[in-house]
Amino acid sequence: MDDKQLEITHHDPLLYNEDLAPIKHRDRRWGWFEIFNVWSNDIQSLFGYTLAASLFLSYGLNGWAVMAAIILAGFIVMVLVNLSGKPSVKYGIPFPVMIRSSMGVRGANFPALLRAIIGIFWYGVQTYFASTAVTLLLTALFGTSDSEFLGMSGTAWLSFLLVWVFQIALFWQGIEKITVFLNWAGPLVYVVMLVLMIVVWYQAGDQLLPAVATIFDGGGNYQGSDLAAFSAIVGTMVAYFAAVVINFGDFTRFVRSERQMKIGNLVGLPLNVAFFSFIALIITAGTLVLFGEALTNPSDIVDRVDSLPLTIIAALTFFAATVGINLVANFIPPAYDLANLFPKAISFRIGGLITAVVAFFVGGLWVAVISQMGISGFVNALGAIVAPFYGIIVVDYYIIKRQNLNMQELFSRDPNGAYFYQNGWNKKAILAFAMAAVFSIATVWVPALSDLNGYGWMIGAALGGLFYYFLAPRAKS
């Protein structure tokens, strides 16, 4: 597709602004390395490390089976994002514009709003967790204050404000500066993790490999068959990436070609996840030798070592890693989603500013209020609800629309337009979503289905696509 076909010659101001408009191929700067770093920043957070390490300890499986499950999950996510990312490579549009094709030019606001709420919530929470790394650094250098407000010390509040302001300053520079940060943060975290692995390996000496063998023999308290454990690991890892899977087009619109996207996804997902999990395994085995117990939280490891240089390096690394995942999973998506709600008034920057302001209160109230209310379960339920949209998007683009979209009509409210449907809403897509969402939300809220919680996202997405396939009218030959 040439750039002339991506030009919007006429548009509705209530559906269009420069940030939502198709990015022409000549203006795209991303290659495979940038896509690789999207995934690097997504997995290399404090939570990502803890998740990877704990999978070897929790399910009682042979270590090779755990590694195979992790790699399989990486391949599954790779296939999913290759499908959801391809339309935006071709047309240069973000997720909230892409989904107008299936939901309608007005109906697209519904999934965009849900995705924005999820992103804003976790943006606030991750801002708090990023600030704990700065708190670790400031405490090591200057000590901590005795004052406390809403469950956080004065040092913790100062750290939270510093991280919050840093993130605002970064996104205000635009997507180019965000890209530079991601391209530095991803490899930097890898270097530090490799150094930590080498240090742990050196200190553990010849006792390390027997410790690895102990972990590989399996243990854990998982009640169920090996197949169930294997499936649970795969489902858990896929669910971990689910937030980015749906709106992956927000990133691939910057990529020069589909080939570059696929290479970035291959290196960034199955290969990256496998290598990062291997590092987590070695370090965890090392802690078993050095401290007598397997530690899966990097902060606990640093605390046990009690070394100021290591604390400083670790704090900066944890900060970079957590800010990285925050930008990828929780900032860029809601910034576009909010811009899609009111394009005439909200740009990408203004959407990001709204995200940051609301998220400030979420992060500031996390310790004393929100974490005590169990509200994260509500947000997890929202995450499950949006799963059917993935299936609807894929079926609509590849089967119903046959990989052809009309750029002009994606930005038009003409009642005769291809994506206006019924007053701007595709009622059949809404119905398909509703039927599938009943199941995906049940995996979170119904105790009898709790075993499906790990892979409820995949089933919800599959049902959304299946229902939409049978409900949606076919394009004329």
Greater pLDDT, 272 or 318: 272
Greater pLDDT, 420 or 375: 420
Q: Which tens digits make up the pLDDT trace of 31-85?
A: 999 999 999 888 877 777 778 888 888 777 778 888 899 999 999 999 999 999 9
Mean predicted confidence (pLDDT) in 19-30: 93
What is d(CA 138, CA 159) in angstroms, rounded to the nearest whole number? Answer: 8
Q: Residue 144: pLDDT above 80?
A: no
- Residue 219 binned pLDDT confidence (cut-offs 50, 70, 90): low
- Do residues 356 and 164 lie in contact, with contact meaning Cβ atoms separated by under 8 Å? yes
Greater pLDDT, 356 or 319: 356
- Residue 220 binned pLDDT confidence (cut-offs 50, 70, 90): low
What is d(CA 404, CA 407) in angstroms, rounded to the nearest whole number? Answer: 9
Greater pLDDT, 294 or 3: 294
Domains of the chain: 3-471 (1.10.4160.10)
- Do residues 400 and 475 lie in contact, with contact meaning Cβ atoms separated by under 8 Å? yes
Task: Collapse the DSSP code of 422 into the 3-class scheme (helix H, G, I; strand E, B; otherwise coil) and give the result.
Answer: strand
Distances in whole angstroms, Cα of residue 371 to Cα of each of 121, 351, 356, 374, 444: 12, 26, 19, 6, 18
Q: Which of 1, 12, 90, 104 is nearest to 408 (CA)?
A: 12
Q: Which tens digits make up the pLDDT trace of 353-404?
A: 999 999 999 999 888 887 776 665 666 676 778 889 999 999 999 999 999 9
User: Other C-beta atoms within 10 Å of 162: how many?
Assistant: 16
Mean predicted confidence (pLDDT) in 15-31: 92
Asked which of 225-234, 387-396, 430-439 is least confident by mean pLDDT, the reply is 225-234
pLDDT at 477: 39
Q: Residue 453: pLDDT above 70?
A: no
Greater pLDDT, 424 or 232: 424
